[in-house]
Structure 1
Amino acid sequence: MSSGLSRRSLARRSFALLAAGLATALAAAPALAQEKVVRIGYQKYGTLILLKNKGLLEARLKPLGYTVKWAEFPAGPQLLEALNAGAIDFGNTGEAPPIFAQAAGAPLVYVGFEPAAPQGEAILVPKDSPLKTVADLKGKTVALNKGSNVHYLLVKALEKAGVAYADIKPAFLTPADARAAFERGAVDAWAIWDPFQAAAEKTIEARQLADGTGIVSNYQFYFSTKAFVDQAPQVVDAVLAGVAEVGAWVKANPKAAAAEFSPLIGIPAPILEVALARQQYDVKPLTPDVAAQQQQVADAFAALGLIPKPVRIADALRAPKS
């Protein structure tokens, strides 16, 4: 009998411990469910890297129960590949990468844009190059990052000069590899954006054949995914508000911004001041005019066979807030 009581007592104690453990686990479950993360992709230059460096966004998102995970990418196409793969929730690029991404089926949503900065990208040649105009690029090799904003600059600059895109030889290289090829004379020209553009102009006296003035707008766009916009629109708005706050600071303090950028990207502050002066650093909801210009980019790439199918920018716009 004593043994039976002992076994019953042990069973009661075991059940009590199990029940207590289950209650603790159930109590912890809501807390764990509230530990949400927004994953943001950024490049070495732009407002998002400053937003990361200043730590402003974390404070904005804490009341919403979100933390931030940052991921660096070498250029826009790689960033949007990650968005398409579900590896990030938010990021920004120039005009061309979202066209390629949308054509590949990426569920991206345009959530904002920065005003035009046509001087922030250019087609460069070495200082002693015999090439004097964009028309001189016929039959020449041009380095560029495939699917980046300068891809569209090159297409439109050639069109304006009366040169078919098929009449040049594109060399698809990342900015670092393109700079190396440009310096050793392996390519005739280089289509590139700031701050790499400003660095090449200053350090090796690269010469412009053309920048975007009168050719392209060179907008910067901010993106999320349809799923994340639907799930957490308030988080998207908080990120955009952080971008606007940092952008206003850059415009008001260009020297301080250049000094903060310099160690992050390894380019001297005086060069960065030149690059910063070419940007607008603001963020706004897309307007019908900007969406129409982006559709022109998509149509140009489709006509050249650079994307596998036409895309409709309207299909990727954020729905108006109710």
Structure 2
Amino acid sequence: MRRIAAAVVMIVLGVAATSAWAQDKGTVRFAYLRLGWSATEIIQQEKLLEKRGWKVEWSVIDPIPGLVNAFAAGHADVIDMSTVLAGRMFEQGQKVQIFGVTTGPTTYILVPTDSSIRDVPDLKGKKLGAIPGSSAFQEMNAYTRQLYSLDLTKDVALVTGMTPPDLATLIGKGEIDAAVVWHPVVDSLLATRKFRVLTDQDTLWRQSTKRPGEPVMVLYLTSPDFARKHPEALRDINDAQREAVEIWHTRPDVAARAIVAVTRLPREVVDSAMRNTKKMLHGLTDDSVETILTQLRIARQHGTILQSDVWTAPDGARKVRDELFYTPR
């Protein structure tokens, strides 16, 4: 009898679990960067949204412009995006809202181990590889302009790449003197022991702002229309992100397998990048909103990509809070 009762319990539990998984809340079209390093890989591979009742149409995109264009064309409901580019989309009139954060500082400037470049001002006149349209480059340029009066678009010989692997190839072949790269590609380069860190985003942020905490590198975007119609989807995405960050820290083997499956990077590179990542994030707190606003203000004051005075106007912060941010409830 006990065996029969146990079997019945297991069947009931299995049916309940299957029913919960099969609950159809609707469809979310979710696009993200292959090398965006946002833990979205874990959400996809571990089916964390499907387990919450959503059908997800996943798109993994390589070039940053491709992701921006997919969202602008209405082909995605939710995307991951870097902070400054989210600001750029907003000021250009795209209907975007930030509803969650994913990743802290990720960006570094690397030079060859035997390079004569010892400090940031030494980059002047050197060949610097970067993706000019990336938030990573734009933030680093704002900091170097503010701290060193060094414009990485004018005071160096800028060599453009389309994707982070392009930059790895350029510096690996010795065709550039330095590169602006981020996790996990930075880790693949450091693993060769042929390169070293000149500076990083977190260091420049702290020097620039004198603020505690870390900058937000990657966040989640949606449209006001989708936020209004599907607030539960955004709540579940933030909760799935929370679980993905938990898996990152408590089940690193599961997290690494998911990231390898999406990025196609060697396992040892992913393991190293996970260890070296300073902060993975989730949700949207008042502190993260203030951090993002500070980053966008610095990017406007000292960078070159943001053009609107909304980031620096006395009443700008209130307007941006009301229009750019959405807190799922």
Please say whether Structure 1 and Structure 2 have the same fold, judged by a TM-score greater than 0.5. yes
Q: For 1:210, what is the secondary structure of its paired residue?
A: strand
Match of 2:41 among 26, 34, 49: 49
Percent identity, aligned pairs only, is 20
1:254 has 2:214 as partner: no
- Structure 1 window deviating more from structure 2 (121-130 vs 147-156): it is 147-156
1:124 has 2:122 as partner: no
Please give the root-mean-square deviation of Cα atoms over the aligned residues, in Å. Answer: 2.4
CA contact (8 A) 1:102 1:311 kept: no
Could you tell me how far 1:130 is from its partner in structure 2?
Answer: 1.6
Q: For 1:197, what is the secondary structure of its paired residue?
A: helix
Alignment of structure 1 residues 72-221 onto 2, 5 Å: 72-114=60-102, 117-118=104-105, 120-151=106-137, 152-165=139-152, 166-173=154-161, 174-203=163-192, 205-216=194-205, 217-219=214-216, 220-221=218-219
Amino acid corresponding to residue 306 of structure 2 in structure 1: I
C-alpha change, 1:105 and 1:286, in structure 2 (3 Å) is farther
Matched positions, count: 281
Could you tell me how far 1:68 is from its partner in structure 2?
Answer: 1.1
Aligned counterparts of 1:78 and 1:299: Cα–Cα separation in 2: 26
Aligned counterparts of 1:147 and 1:290: Cα–Cα separation in 2: 23
Deviations 1:112-155 (A, max 9, x none): 1136x33x320011222221111101122322223323220233
Aligned counterparts of 1:269 and 1:319: Cα–Cα separation in 2: 35
C-alpha change, 1:282 and 1:319, in structure 2 (3 Å) is closer
CA contact (8 A) 2:25 2:53 kept: no
C-alpha change, 1:36 and 1:70, in structure 2 (3 Å) is same
C-alpha change, 1:75 and 1:280, in structure 2 (3 Å) is farther
- Structure 1 window deviating more from structure 2 (120-129 vs 143-152): it is 143-152
TM (norm. structure 2) is 0.77
- Structure 1 window deviating more from structure 2 (81-90 vs 164-173): it is 164-173
Aligned counterparts of 1:316 and 1:300: Cα–Cα separation in 2: 17
Match of 2:29 among 16, 36, 39: 39
Give the corresponding residue for 2:225.
Answer: 227
CA contact (8 A) 2:99 2:327 kept: no
Deviations 1:151-182 (A, max 9, x none): 20233135323424432233332212222222
- Structure 1 window deviating more from structure 2 (215-224 vs 125-134): it is 215-224
Deviations 1:202-238 (A, max 9, x none): 1362211001233233412111111100111111111
Q: For 1:215, what is the secondary structure of its paired residue?
A: helix
Unaligned runs of 5+ in 2: 1-23, 206-213, 312-319
Aligned counterparts of 2:183 and 2:119: Cα–Cα separation in 1: 21
Aligned counterparts of 1:170 and 1:101: Cα–Cα separation in 2: 24
TM (norm. structure 1) is 0.78
Give the corresponding residue for 2:50.
Answer: 58
CA contact (8 A) 2:127 2:156 kept: yes
C-alpha change, 1:253 and 1:75, in structure 2 (3 Å) is farther
Q: For 2:67, what is the secondary structure of its paired residue?
A: helix
C-alpha change, 1:238 and 1:285, in structure 2 (3 Å) is same
Aligned counterparts of 1:190 and 1:127: Cα–Cα separation in 2: 13
Give the corresponding residue for 2:8.
Answer: none
Aligned counterparts of 1:156 and 1:225: Cα–Cα separation in 2: 30
CA contact (8 A) 1:95 1:218 kept: no
C-alpha change, 1:143 and 1:52, in structure 2 (3 Å) is same
Could you tell me how far 1:200 is from its partner in structure 2?
Answer: 0.9
Quick check: which has more Rg, 1 or 2? 1
1:268 has 2:258 as partner: no
